[in-house]
């Protein structure tokens, strides 16, 4: 597979010319269908609307919603006119949104009204109280000095916010030739996407990904799955993750396949979409596949159209893999491994790999991707079969962390190697096996959580003197969080106090499932906390 030197917009243009009448976008529950030709024209309209609002090449545009059509259209529209799409986790609450908008210097925010009972507009007003008094569409918020405009995905009238139809009318002031000029001025090495990933310091970092990063990674992923224009890819994973917007949308578009979108994961919705749209590929983290297979109505659905798909995000249990192949019929299902900083996929199993390799390894590195296993202390390269830190180099390595050169230098060395922080080994056949993590990251149901971020937040809780957070194994989600809290002298705290403090302030999946109170932590002689002993204690406590 050759590397493409193309922008996101150019790839869509090319596919619209090649497969004009093939379906590109399908929203089964909304009865929305667009061919590649129609999808190309609709994203042109959005691209011109962004330009008509005065958004320049390289300006950061944040987007906050689940897998709405407007999200998908905005991904390719910004890919045509050169704005940088900053993806916002749908679970974010006020503190997280405020930090992201400040750190990313986003000039524009596109958002839905809410998600799963969370009122996005109310959260936004809590950050920018001046919105309530605004009499113009230009945002003036002292808390977010870079933010100039807010676009709502619906027709609800809100002070200081554009309705979707008002936003679209800006396209009328831009000629087609102006859009073509803008599109042709873009460089494939321009940053087109910023995705926030929590850091070990507790502060999220904005991963800058270029056209070349995401277009080529999507192309390699789809190529490994053997996607063609005849395939129909069911995407129930969130767009704000690389899983949705690279392994999903770009893997499909780079091969002219149809994108069948499920806006919010629900096993029944997924099964209906697969059957109704005769999907040939299905994406998901293991917990999603488990929910689909274990749904009481699973046997009523015809999933025989499935051929392939991707299971990723956490370890894939062999029994689940066997069921996906045997009961769902996806006998060419693949496993991917990577991280956002690598656009994200580094390695992937092939459609014809034996099942043993598909569950005991994360496949072989993609074409044009270098990997090496090094001693985390000395940096010396390890022998085949020996475990060490996985490092990778190639087209897929991010441009860096936004406005954070120091953090960038910590993970990308002078020779261009990205240090993943994951412990891995290469077998004699060249397959990668991920055996652990140097950093203390916890993966809960496909969501990466860094304990330090939770610790930093819980330190601000009145009555908390000290806190340590670790991951504990969990059958359903892979891992869950346990917080060990030392209360301040004379203060009595209980679990309800901690949960009440967390609710509405941090994402629900970051709220520790287990909360323990203690008066001391296991320490080394030099005074360092022994987190490995805390993990052992946590596993015992969680089992009680």
pLDDT of amino acid 199: 45
Torsion of CA 392, 393, 398, 402, to 10 degrees: 80
The whole-angstrom separation of Cα 313 and Cα 339 is 9
The number of folded domains in the chain is 2
Instruction: Look at residue 307 in the predicted model and tell me its pLDDT.
Output: 98
Q: In this structure, are 44 and 166 located in the same domain? A: yes
Do residues 507 and 116 make contact, with C-beta atoms less than 8 angstroms apart? no
The answer to whether the CB of 352 falls within 8 A of the CB of 377 is no
CATH number at residue 514: 3.30.300.30
Residue 348, domain member (yes or no): no
pLDDT at 201: 42
CATH of the domain at 107: 3.40.50.12780
Residues 446 and 313 in one domain: no
Has residue 98 been placed in a domain?
yes
| 163 and 300 co-located in one domain | yes
Question: Cβ atoms within 10 A of the Cβ of 435, count?
Answer: 12
Where a domain ends, among 328, 353, 383? 328
Q: Do 322 and 449 belong together in one domain?
A: no
Residues 463 and 315 in one domain: no
Range of 68's domain?
8-328
Same domain, 75 and 210: yes
Residue 236 shares a structural domain with residue 112? yes
In a domain, residue 116? The reply is yes
Both structure tokens of 406: 């120091």
Helical residues (DSSP H) of 205-245, grouped into ranges? 211-224, 242-245
Residues of the chain with pLDDT under 50: 199-201, 526
H helix or E strand, kind and range, residue 235: strand 232-235
Q: Sign (positive/negative) of CA torsion 210, 265, 25, 298?
A: positive
Domain boundary among 290, 306, 328: 328
This prediction's pTM: 0.86
Report pLDDT for 198.
60
d(CA 56, CA 427): 48
Owner of token pair 């590397």: 3
Residue at 162 is within a domain: yes
Residue 412 lies in a domain: no
Same domain, yes or no: 312 and 456: no
Res 200: pLDDT: 37
Contact partners, residue 256, CB within 8 Å, separation at least 6: 15, 18, 19, 22, 36, 228, 229
* Residue 491 domain flag: yes
Domain end among 328, 353, 386: 328
- Kindly state whether residue 383 falls inside one of the protein's structural domains: no
For residue 136, being part of any structural domain is answered with yes
Determine the pLDDT at residue 181.
Answer: 98
């Amino acid at each position: 597979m050759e590397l493409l030197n193309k922008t996101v917009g150019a790839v869509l243009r090319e596919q619209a010319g090649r497969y004009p009448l093939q379906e590109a976008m399908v929203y089964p529950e909304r009865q929305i269908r667009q061919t590649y030709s129609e999808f190309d024209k609709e994203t042109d309209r959005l691209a011109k609307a962004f330009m008509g609002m005065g958004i320049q090449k390289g300006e950061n545009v944040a987007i906050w919603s689940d897998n709405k059509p407007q999200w998908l259209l905005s991904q390719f529209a910004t890919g045509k006119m050169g704005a940088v799409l900053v993806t916002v986790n749908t679970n974010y609450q006020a503190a997280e949104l405020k930090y992201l908008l400040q750190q990313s210097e986003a000039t524009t925010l596109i958002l839905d009204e809410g998600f799963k009972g969370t009122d996005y507009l109310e959260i936004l007003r809590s950050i920018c109280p001046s919105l309530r008094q605004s009499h113009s569409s230009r945002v003036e918020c002292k808390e977010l000095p870079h933010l100039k405009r807010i676009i709502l995905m619906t027709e609800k009238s809100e002070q200081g916010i554009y309705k979707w139809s008002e936003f679209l009318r800006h396209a009328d002031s831009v000629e087609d030739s102006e859009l073509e000029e803008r599109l042709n001025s873009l460089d494939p090495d321009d940053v087109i996407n910023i995705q926030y990933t929590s850091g070990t310091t507790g502060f999220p970092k904005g991963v800058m990904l270029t056209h070349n990063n995401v277009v080529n990674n999507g192309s390699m992923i789809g190529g490994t799955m053997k996607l063609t224009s005849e395939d129909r890819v069911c995407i129930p994973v969130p767009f704000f993750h690389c899983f949705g917007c690279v392994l999903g949308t770009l893997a499909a578009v780079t091969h002219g396949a149809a994108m069948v979108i499920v806006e919010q994961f629900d096993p029944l919705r997924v099964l209906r979409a697969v059957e109704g749209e005769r999907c040939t590929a299905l994406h998901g983290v293991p917990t999603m596949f488990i929910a689909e297979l274990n749904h009481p109505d699973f046997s009523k659905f015809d999933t025989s159209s499935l051929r392939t798909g991707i299971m990723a995000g956490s370890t894939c249990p062999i029994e689940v893999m066997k069921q996906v192949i045997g009961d769902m019929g996806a006998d060419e299902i693949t496993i991917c491994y990577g991280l956002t900083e690598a656009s994200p996929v580094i390695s992937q199993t092939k459609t014809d790999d034996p099942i043993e390799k598909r569950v005991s390894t994360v496949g072989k590195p993609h074409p044009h991707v270098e990997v090496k296993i090094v001693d985390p202390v000395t940096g010396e390269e390890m022998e085949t079969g020996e475990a060490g830190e996985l490092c990778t180099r190639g087209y897929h390595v991010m441009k860096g962390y936004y406005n954070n050169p120091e953090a960038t230098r910590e993970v990308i060395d002078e020779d261009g190697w990205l240090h993943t922080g994951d412990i891995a080994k290469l077998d004699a056949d060249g397959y990668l096996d991920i055996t652990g993590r140097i950093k203390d990251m916890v993966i809960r149901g496909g969501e990466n959580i860094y304990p330090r971020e939770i610790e930093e937040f819980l330190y601000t809780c009145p009555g908390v003197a000290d806190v340590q957070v670790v991951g504990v194994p969990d059958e359903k989600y892979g891992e869950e969080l346990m917080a060990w809290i030392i209360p301040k002298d004379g203060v009595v705290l209980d679990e309800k106090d901690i949960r009440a403090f967390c609710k509405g302030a941090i994402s629900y999946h970051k709220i520790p499932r287990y909360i323990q109170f203690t008066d001391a932590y296991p320490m080394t002689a030099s005074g360092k906390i022994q987190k490995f002993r805390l993990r052992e204690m946590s596993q015992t406590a969680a089992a009680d």
